[in-house]
Amino acid sequence: MKTPNRFATLTGAAVAATLALSGCGGAAPAADGTKAPSVATKTSGILNVGIDLTYPPYDMLTDGKPAGFDVEVMNAISADLGLKPQYSDTRFAQIVAGIKADRYDVIASTLYVSSARSKEVDFVPYFQTGNSIVVPKDAAALTDAQSLCGKKVSVVTATVIAKIMPTTESDKCKAAGKEAITVQEFPTDPEATQALLSGQVDAQMTDAAVAKTVIEKSNSRLKISSGALIYPVAVGLAVRKGNTALQEALTKSVENLKTSGSFAKILKEYNLEPVDPAVLAESLKQG
């Protein structure tokens, strides 16, 4: 589930520590020095990435090394650009301020695209996330938000879906002659999952990549029952405003990874999707 700070105003003190990449499991190989860098960066031959390594499975530390979806993507992009990735661990609340202060070349930290943020950084949209529904393995499939009418659903406290489902979505249920959704909020995803496993709720709704991790840790007791992402939102890499050269290089590299098929493999691994133009357009309307 998207933690509340992913939607918060970008304030607070920075906590930054530069972490040099060295062999994160499952990631694409870093540039080996034989390919000339195809774009200029702050430090020659290095792509310095601002990232908050406290948000698994997107961004995290595994055995003390950067790992997760964004790290796999940036390792692949760096190799394509002839650069070596270096990760600057920065708390999310200060991550945009960091690139505006020129502390790193690019942000890759599950940064949602929005109208307000597009005024502060230049985006390279690279995937979209959203929510998935998790149910017991033998339960009937609940495929979308409206299939939750009359059901008890566990979610994380203070998230967007915790606000939408008992209001806007439940209003749709009532208009269709169905019962409202009963939302039970929990401080963390593991607690929301435990409520599902213990039978307190019928389903859990959470971020799509987090849902994939929930399934993997459930010992085959749970499954993802929804198909397309629910409440999708575009996510972008971000560069300093006006850094057109790097923005264009990153855009081209993402297209190269799509053409090679490697990007699709990473997306599938994390239960994510490429950006739909309509979703991107809608995201850019949001504050």
* 64-78 mean pLDDT: 97
Q: Indicate whether 16 pLDDT > 50.
A: no
Measured between alpha carbons, how far is 114 from 281 in angstroms, rounded to an integer? 9
Q: Indicate whether 23 pLDDT > 90.
A: no
Q: What is the CA radius of gyration of the chain?
A: 19
* 143-162 mean pLDDT: 93
Of 154-158, 209-213, 243-247, 283-287, the one with minimum mean pLDDT is 283-287
pLDDT per residue as tens digits for the range 225-262: 998 899 999 999 999 999 999 999 999 999 999 999 99
Please report, as a single letter, which amino acid is at residue 45. Answer: G
Give the pTM: 0.78
Measured between alpha carbons, how far is 101 from 159 in angstroms, rounded to an integer? 29
